[in-house]
Structure 1
Amino acid sequence: MADTDEITTARRALGRQLAQLRRDANLTQQGLARLVQYGRSSVANTETGRQHPEREFWARCDTALHTCGVLAQEYDRIAKRAQRIQPQSTAVPSKTPDRPQPTAGTGSTEGGENDSAFWETEDCINARRLALKSGTDDDARLSYLEGEVHRAIADNERLPSAVLLARMRPLRAYVDQLMAGRQHPPQRARLYTLAAHLSGLLGALALDLGAFRVAHAYAAEAFDLADTAQQHDVRAWARATQSLIAFYTGEHHDALAYAQDGLRHSGSGPHTIRLTINGKARALAHLGDRYGVDEAVNHAFTMLAEQPHDTTVSTSLALGPYCYPRTAANAATAYLVLNCGKNVTAHLSGAIDAFDAAELRGPQALSRLDLATAYLHHADPDPEQAAELALNALALTADHRYESVNQRTHQFLTSAKPFAAMPQMRHIAEQLAVRAHRSRRAPPALPFAT
């Protein structure tokens, strides 16, 4: 092609158009490069006019950006213009003969093949076909993202919250990029579902790290995404996560309201046990409703008995039903608030062994702290055994930050005030103070919402 000022200006304008379309689609240069299978530098150089890729590049960009062929059409216009101004002696012969011109009867009144006012362009039609076929790529991306989210939920109580957070935040940004696209309706529902799970998980991690307002914001976003996806199970899961966060931020009426609304969405779905025992029973205990707690606990165990037997310990943000140890541990927490020590020890007798076998540090620590507090509430208290369990809980989570563990340790120390002179109790208080000081000195793990 002739490298004239006119052609150079047109190429640069096309590059700027690509950059604008990319930004409108909320894509980075790297993100677009992945979609069109070119290098990031190729995208960057093309946008600034330093590189002039062939037509295939522009066709792929049209497909990725859903532009109905406008970039490839402009490339063709520039190419034809360059051919026309090229000296005749150096012109390259066309490899295909020109199409025959329309006859007198094929004008706009008859809708002839070359009448652009009547027909869509072939590029526009082909772009739609490619967009339809691109569903295969979208399925692959969605399957990858769903796998990552499920793995992260499974790792939630195994990895430090800050480590998992660092892994999930870039994934959430990538999902936002995809949400700016135009997926088919079933894929769109899957995309909103995994975005809801991601935001809910980030909310739980923010809670662990003490960023309460951010935790509430993420959890509210999770429900809004689930509501947009119109998936009842996902709505129920998001409400359960909101209830969890409200519980640990001391908003027990809200925790109960979220749990009850979640139960409305869940029906007999997989999240009913979690909403009943983790949300409803524990909130009712803090509101002093012993009858309501008994009813919720009995209902949770009745539903659990109807589930297929599974020895696997479910995760705290389980996408399926809660397991027996998790249900028992939550029942123990509710009864501990009501000062029903016998109920606490009965429910925790097998739960602790299951958590130890699964090596889930959060539940290991929390169940030990609940059992330790129950020992202090017995008619014949055992402060030495209680202190040993509490110290063990702190040792298990020495390298992890769990807001729930910190709160439960404070509750233990409140119950242990009659034994505050014991060296073990002083040591527990000192360790908790060190943790609080370390948390204050550390930079915020998440930006606080305004």
Structure 2
Amino acid sequence: MAKEAGFTPPAAGPEMISKHERGVNFPGTSYQAAYCHFFQASEPELGFRYPYPHEHKDDHAGSVTPPLAGIPSQHQPTPQTEGVETANRRDLLSLTAAAIGLTATGTAAAMIAPADRLAILERATAGSGAASAAEGALQAVVADYLHHPPAETLRRAIALQQLTDAITAQYPLRPADQARVWRVSGVATGIRGWLENNAGHTTDARLSLREAHRRGELLEDNQLIAWTRFMQATIEDYAGNPAGAEQYALDGLRHAPSGPQRAILLVGSLAGARAAHGDIRGVDAAVSEAESIVSRLTPDERGPREDHRTVVDSLTSIGLPIFSLDVGRVYSRLGEIGRFMEVTADVRPAIEQGSSSRTSVFRADEAVAVARSKSPDLDRVAALARESLRLAGPFQTAHIASRVNVVLAVTDRDYPAIRSLADEAHTWRISRNRPIDLV
């Protein structure tokens, strides 16, 4: 390869190429030329660059070879994309080594016989079946989501992640099948992060959702990206970080130009963050746009019944009762008790009859609205908050805890009813986070 390019690299052997691949040595001028010839690409296209833009290769004859892009020297600042660029350079050099018959360790690679190549393709066919099996497993996890305790659903989501990892390791997958497996893993990881946050493991939840978001980016799947951004915004909101919640919401909206996901992000994420800042005009604008979207939804975009709905349904739909409750929550945070009662009027009958699975959330939001109002009735606030704690379902721990935290933060902790509520809330949290409930 090098001779065809008119160069004879010194010690052009497996050991040197292996060092290039591992970043031990930087390719010299001759090696760079050989790589460029092999890939039919220019030096900038392959990431070879010189310290100063006005200098050219000829100016560096006999000088120290500059580093590859992404591999910083002591005189070169580390770019934020260092990890990605370094990996890209390693992939490039690995491909070069493979093309000339060398393995990553510098030993001669065994030739693959035609029959073996055919066997690999047959395994790729089996990989398609494995991808379908992973999708079926995800459907089972989602279908049974609410029929198990949160810890069991979390365990199943983790097992699904491990299944997708095993499929990727065992089968040579077609690109389309690889995308299917990655999407299954992305959704499973999103479920995991959501339930980790419900269990009070905020740090673990953040890491899981970062992984889910990254998979969405690599797949260029706007739906998956918007979904993870909604969950990330919710977690930051519950953690008392409205600025972070707003950033996640705005990024999610860039990937959700219309439809249910945009309405969810507008009301469930952006409006809430703006309410935390007291931005009433910003809240009204977000709610108005979301209401316009919801008014045009198809039956499929309204999703399953409220008591069958999980966070996974937020990928494709928004439930109307939940939308009303989300709007109500926004105005409760502003202390607008009248507006809160107005926007939740359509769901209150079910709340009063006790036929709604969201009664606990409604009571908690009502407690926040009264607590933040101009003339708070602290006895009523405490009674509403206690009822929300009593009615909270196993998957509502984080939702209720975040609202009760707001109540305790904006009221007089020395008031007897509020002091009693604080003690009860503390006991409730401990009972919800018992080791038996966690994975």
TM-score scaled by length of structure 2: 0.65
Q: Would the aligned equivalents of 1:161 and 1:401 in 2 still touch at CA under 8 Å?
A: no
2:185 maps to which residue? 195
Q: Which amino acid aligns with 2:181?
A: L
| Closer/same/farther in 2, CA of residues 379 and 261 from structure 1, 3 Å limit | closer
Out of 126, 130, 138, the residue aligned to residue 134 of structure 1 is 126
Q: How does 1:67-106 map to 2 (within 5 A)?
A: none
Q: Which amino acid aligns with 2:335?
A: N
| Closer/same/farther in 2, CA of residues 435 and 140 from structure 1, 3 Å limit | same
Q: How does 1:42-53 map to 2 (within 5 A)?
A: none
| Closer/same/farther in 2, CA of residues 383 and 349 from structure 1, 3 Å limit | farther
2:167 maps to which residue? 178
Q: Which amino acid aligns with 1:177?
A: A
- The CA distance in 2 between the partners of 1:434 and 1:119, in whole Å, is 64
Percent same amino acid among aligned pairs? Answer: 23
1:206 maps to which residue? 196
Q: Does 1:274 align with 2:234?
A: no
- The CA distance in 1 between the partners of 2:320 and 2:210, in whole Å, is 28
2:142 maps to which residue? 150
Q: Which amino acid aligns with 1:365?
A: S
2:285 maps to which residue? 295
- CA shift for structure 1 position 268: 1.7
- The CA distance in 1 between the partners of 2:211 and 2:174, in whole Å, is 22
Out of 154, 165, 178, the residue aligned to residue 154 of structure 2 is 165
Q: Which amino acid aligns with 1:239?
A: R
Q: Would the aligned equivalents of 1:233 and 1:270 in 2 still touch at CA under 8 Å?
A: no
- The CA distance in 2 between the partners of 1:245 and 1:265, in whole Å, is 19
Out of 320, 326, 331, the residue aligned to residue 324 of structure 1 is 320
Q: Would the aligned equivalents of 2:196 and 2:202 in 1 still touch at CA under 8 Å?
A: yes
1:365 maps to which residue? 360
- The CA distance in 2 between the partners of 1:258 and 1:430, in whole Å, is 33
| Closer/same/farther in 2, CA of residues 414 and 252 from structure 1, 3 Å limit | closer
Q: Would the aligned equivalents of 1:239 and 1:262 in 2 still touch at CA under 8 Å?
A: yes
- The CA distance in 1 between the partners of 2:229 and 2:289, in whole Å, is 19
- The CA distance in 2 between the partners of 1:195 and 1:355, in whole Å, is 36
Q: Would the aligned equivalents of 2:128 and 2:177 in 1 still touch at CA under 8 Å?
A: no
| Closer/same/farther in 2, CA of residues 442 and 380 from structure 1, 3 Å limit | same
Q: Which amino acid aligns with 2:331?
A: Y
Out of 399, 405, 410, the residue aligned to residue 404 of structure 1 is 399
1:433 maps to which residue? 426
Range with bigger deviation, 174-183 or 238-247: 174-183
Q: Does 1:351 align with 2:347?
A: yes
Q: Indicate the RMSD between aligned Cα atoms, in angstroms.
A: 3.2
| Closer/same/farther in 2, CA of residues 418 and 235 from structure 1, 3 Å limit | closer
Could you say which structure has the larger radius of gyration?
Answer: 1
Q: Would the aligned equivalents of 1:206 and 1:215 in 2 still touch at CA under 8 Å?
A: yes
- The CA distance in 2 between the partners of 1:238 and 1:335, in whole Å, is 24
- The CA distance in 2 between the partners of 1:201 and 1:329, in whole Å, is 22
| Closer/same/farther in 2, CA of residues 214 and 358 from structure 1, 3 Å limit | farther
| Closer/same/farther in 2, CA of residues 248 and 399 from structure 1, 3 Å limit | closer
Q: Which amino acid aligns with 1:366?
A: V
Structure 1 unaligned segments of length 5 or more: list them: 1-116
Q: Would the aligned equivalents of 1:149 and 1:197 in 2 still touch at CA under 8 Å?
A: no
- CA shift for structure 1 position 308: 1.9
Q: Would the aligned equivalents of 1:300 and 1:327 in 2 still touch at CA under 8 Å?
A: no
**Which whole-Å deviations, capped at 9, do the CAs of 1:226-252 have from their partners, x for residues lacking one?**
111121111111111111111111221
Question: How many residue pairs were aligned?
Answer: 323
Q: Which amino acid aligns with 1:406?
A: A
1:392 maps to which residue? 387
| Closer/same/farther in 2, CA of residues 374 and 173 from structure 1, 3 Å limit | same
- CA shift for structure 1 position 163: 2.9
SS in 1 for 2:305: coil
Out of 322, 331, 335, the residue aligned to residue 335 of structure 1 is 331
- CA shift for structure 1 position 445: 3.1
Q: Would the aligned equivalents of 1:285 and 1:335 in 2 still touch at CA under 8 Å?
A: yes
- The CA distance in 2 between the partners of 1:221 and 1:144, in whole Å, is 22
Q: Would the aligned equivalents of 2:192 and 2:208 in 1 still touch at CA under 8 Å?
A: yes
2:46 maps to which residue? none
Q: Would the aligned equivalents of 2:368 and 2:407 in 1 still touch at CA under 8 Å?
A: yes
| Closer/same/farther in 2, CA of residues 148 and 381 from structure 1, 3 Å limit | same
- CA shift for structure 1 position 348: 2.5
| Closer/same/farther in 2, CA of residues 390 and 377 from structure 1, 3 Å limit | same
Structure 2 unaligned segments of length 5 or more: list them: 1-109
- The CA distance in 1 between the partners of 2:352 and 2:187, in whole Å, is 27
| Closer/same/farther in 2, CA of residues 360 and 170 from structure 1, 3 Å limit | farther
- CA shift for structure 1 position 378: 5.3
- CA shift for structure 1 position 407: 2.4
Q: Which amino acid aligns with 2:361?
A: L
1:84 maps to which residue? none
**Which whole-Å deviations, capped at 9, do the CAs of 1:204-247 have from their partners, x for residues lacking one?**
11111111111110111010011111211111111111111111
Q: Would the aligned equivalents of 2:263 and 2:290 in 1 still touch at CA under 8 Å?
A: yes
SS in 2 for 1:134: helix
- CA shift for structure 1 position 149: 4.3
SS in 2 for 1:405: helix
**Which whole-Å deviations, capped at 9, do the CAs of 1:339-387 have from their partners, x for residues lacking one?**
21111112223335557899775x4322111113324455665555544
Q: Would the aligned equivalents of 2:350 and 2:356 in 1 still touch at CA under 8 Å?
A: no
- The CA distance in 2 between the partners of 1:204 and 1:400, in whole Å, is 10
TM-score scaled by length of structure 1: 0.64
Point out 4+ residue stretches in structure 1 off by more than 6 angstroms.
355-360
- The CA distance in 2 between the partners of 1:258 and 1:336, in whole Å, is 22
